[in-house]
Amino acid sequence: MIRAPLLASIAAISLISTPLAAQNASADAQRQAIFQQMLTDPSNRQLMRDYARLSVQARDFEAAAATLERLVDLEPNNATARVELAIAYFALGSYAVAEYHLAAAQSSGSLSPEQLTQVARYRDEAQDRDDRSDYRGRLAVGYAYADTSGEQGAFVTGSVDWRIDMGDADVTQWITEFAFSSYEPGDSSINSRSSGRLRTGPQWRLARDAYGPRLQAYAELGWFQNDSTLSGDYTSWGVGLAYANPINERFTVYADATTGRQIARAATGSDFDFYDFDLGVTYRPSRDTRVRLSGTMGGREEVDDPTPIEITEASVRLAAQHAFDVGWEHLPNRWIAGAWAEAGQAERIDGGTTTDVDEESYGVWLRAFVLEDIYIETTAAQVFEDSVTGGVTTSREELIYTFQVGWEF
């Protein structure tokens, strides 16, 4: 069941994302003509620049690197040519050589602010890829309190992202992600919940540089207890395809589609086939500010039942965050403030009974790093929910506060 908010987000993302331009025959003919001119005038620097530019467009990075090497030999102070040479080596997977030329260009003092930002990004990426194996993660423990119901309890969340560079020409990485969460409000509560997910698979960087489309095929295993749609203990398996495209320093679009089965661990429980689809765009107007618009939709259908339970969901979310330094001596140096608004709808059909749920939530949060990788964070969220079954509406309103201590590694 896709409603207007999700359709609006999809329309906005479609307007922002841009298809890759195909290499045309006239550009290739122009490149070959310039190459013939270079054979008769090998020291012509303008011909070198033109040939290198057209070689990059044709994805012939070896030809571009060879030509730019000669140009840099002739013009050792040409920082722009050195940056272009570094990017060509980056695309070829020679990250150490790329990092050398990027460092030289960065220290030249002749790059524009835009070029310096580009060089910094490529240097970070080159260093990460040269390591071949890289992991990062997060672990947080905290306490949540719901103002209206008075329910409260401890929670823990964590994630690990491990990337292995496969070292091939397509810049393939094998990415394994593990995430878990648990909330235990107390023995008298029915709202205890926990979940875990392991996802692994290869990612291909189709453009072979720091920007451009990336595609990952993955397999996924999971388990959960009392998630947002199903009560009880379940394990799950799924397969999916994830797409991300950092178009430039400001815009990134992404999509993720998964399908699989959720299997009840209790003998009396029911199994469900499921599908999930996510779509979004991130905009970064500056290094410290990020805005994300995303939409999700999904469905569950009971397996092996003549009148199966069917559940459909859709939501749209807008979130923003900004990092800053308060500049006070006795306070943490790095702060991040964020806010979000989300609207969702769900429909559950169980035999002849239909239940529609509309939910809205708004929240703000503030994170302060007391050490380089240790932070404290507090959140306040307002939730509104209307559930309609058989013409009877049940409304719920909740104000939720959380406090947590986290570690990024």
* Residue 308: inside a domain: yes
- Nearest by Cα to 236 from 257, 220, 225: 220
Instruction: Based on the fold, state whether residues 72 and 188 are members of the same structural domain.
Output: no
Using DSSP's 3-state secondary structure scheme, residue 371 falls into: coil
Task: Say yes or no: 111 and 240 in one domain.
Answer: no
Q: Which pTM value belongs to this model?
A: 0.70
Instruction: Give the tokens for residue 370.
Output: 């007391």
In this structure, are 219 and 248 located in the same domain? Answer: yes
171 to each of 22, 103, 208, 219, how far by Cα in Å?
Answer: 21, 22, 6, 20
CATH of the domain at 72: 1.25.40.10
The pLDDT of residue 330 is 76
Please report whether residue 14 resides in a domain. no
For 389, counting Cβ atoms within 10 Å of its Cβ (0-12 exposed, 13-18 middle, 19+ buried), the class is middle
- Which residue, 130, 148, 182, sits at the end of a domain? 130
pLDDT of residue 22: 42
Summarised one tens digit per residue, pLDDT across range 113-140 is: 888 888 888 888 777 766 677 889 999 9
Tens digit of each residue's pLDDT (9 = 90 or more) over 15-43: 443 443 344 567 778 888 888 888 888 88
Is the domain of 26 the same as that of 162? no
Residues 238 and 270 in one domain: yes
Residue 140: inside a domain, yes or no? yes
195/101 same-domain check: no
For helices 79-92 and 45-57, the axis angle rounded to 10 degrees is 30
Specify the 3-state DSSP secondary structure of 190. coil
Are 344 and 334 within one domain? yes
Q: How many domains does the chain have?
A: 2
Whether residue 364 sits in one domain with residue 295: yes
User: Residue 125 and residue 117: Cα distance in Å, rounded?
Assistant: 13
Identity of the amino acid at 303: V
Joined together, the tokens standing for residue 397 give 């309103």
| CATH number where 385 lies | 2.40.160.40
Residue 108 domain-assigned? yes
Residues of the chain with pLDDT under 50: 1-23
Give the residue numbers spanning the domain of 141.
132-408
